[in-house]
Amino acid sequence: MLRDFTAVDVTPEVRSAALRLIERLRGAAAKVTWTKAANLHYTLKFLGDVQAEKTPEICRAVQEAAAPFSPFQIVATGAGAFPSLSHLQTLWLGVGDGAEQMELLFQAVERLLEPLGFAREHRRFAPHLTLGRVRGGNPAGFKELAELIRKHADFDAGPMTVSSVTVFSSILAADGPTYSALSHAALRG
């Protein structure tokens, strides 16, 4: 069994900017598991536990979904939290310009993976790069972290070109997950 997901990898420039944002948020007295630099990406669809023999089908479906799209620009911008700033769980860097194209890419991936047994998402797609997951702390620490996120709501990590979708496998370990790229599907439109 593999834990698979589809994602858009980030450029070194966006990765560096995301790490600067993490450093700014790290000062709050909340317990957060921060995302490792190598693991920063924009998730399109989480697939969960998948039989290894299903991987070639998944990779083909993602290639078929990505192929009609032309490479497009996004701007990595805006700090926020799911489900909200008053109930911090997942800290993220969003997408400004290009969010609509990212959503169309997500919909294409989802549409072509559905026949393989992957149910459609019930939540609205919100393109985001996970910076960290809140694990605990005291009310003052949560408030401090929410205030730091609010302060960086307009954080600009810069533009990047989305030119492919990657199918990743995730191996969970005590020091966090390690991701391996299984395939890259180019946007060829």
Tell me the Cα Rg of the chain: 17
The residue annotated as part of the active site, out of 122, 128, 152, 184, is 128
Query: What tokens appear for 129 in the block?
Result: 């790069």
Task: Please give the DSSP secondary-structure letter assigned to residue 71.
Answer: P
Backbone angles phi, psi at 4, to 5 degrees: -110, 155
Catalytic, 128? Answer: yes
Catalytic, 152? Answer: no
Q: What residue type is 64 in one-letter code?
A: E
- Helix axes 55-66 and 99-113, enclosed angle (nearest 10): 140
The residue annotated as part of the active site, out of 41, 122, 152, 184, is 41
CA dihedral (39, 101, 20, 144) in degrees, to 10, reads -100
**CB of 128 within 8 A of CB of 96?**
no
Catalytically annotated residues: 41, 128
